A and B are shown apart, each in its own frame.
Chain A
Amino acid sequence: EVQLVESGGGLVQPGGSLRLSCAASGFTFSDYWMHWVRQAPGKGLVWVSRISNDGSYTKYADSVEGRFTISRDNAKNTLYLQVNSLRAEDTAIYYCARDFNSAGDYWGQGTLVTVSS
């Protein structure tokens, strides 16, 4: 069974940092591109970042470019999102998703990041 489990969210002050993790199981992690998608409370879905299966290719939304870094450790079956210089507008549930034809076929349950003083 495919499982994606996010962790690392929490309450952080503006300008702060967090590292989000997504532990994958039930499939060959190193075969798949992966994504991060976020959803602000009561709002819609926003694609944040994407990484190739070997980590050599990454892409970011303009709103997070230069502040967020996606990475992966295929030996640990884990996807990461380093989030720096956080702003109030970054407050959201962050989901990881497995890529399937550029869509997300499996999603984790999400981890909540709250940016507030």
Chain B
Amino acid sequence: GENVEQHPSTLSVQEGDSAVIKCTYSDSASNYFPWYKQELGKGPQLIIDIRSNVGEKKDQRIAVTLNKTAKHFSLHITETQPEDSAVYFCAASWIQVNNLFFGTGTRLTVIP
């Protein structure tokens, strides 16, 4: 099955700095890559996703990039704010399966 690796497991940044979280996937047929944010005591929430026919997607302060050749994708958060502190999960899926495979998560702490 698909294997999704996520790094780093923890990340601390100063407020206003950028944060980058990286994920790699094993199956070259993967074609859908969402990112989820999980706040304490809540379920994960979709924040951005990208499909394999594009290389980058932006939504205000967050962006996702995809490198299909290297089989990795990254989440970029600019101008970080304390409310960005949460656990972030990447995931991948491909057309032969009906579900997402998740990374192990990154705990982001934004220091005021």
The answer to whether A and B assemble together is no
A interface list, Cβ under 8 A from B: none
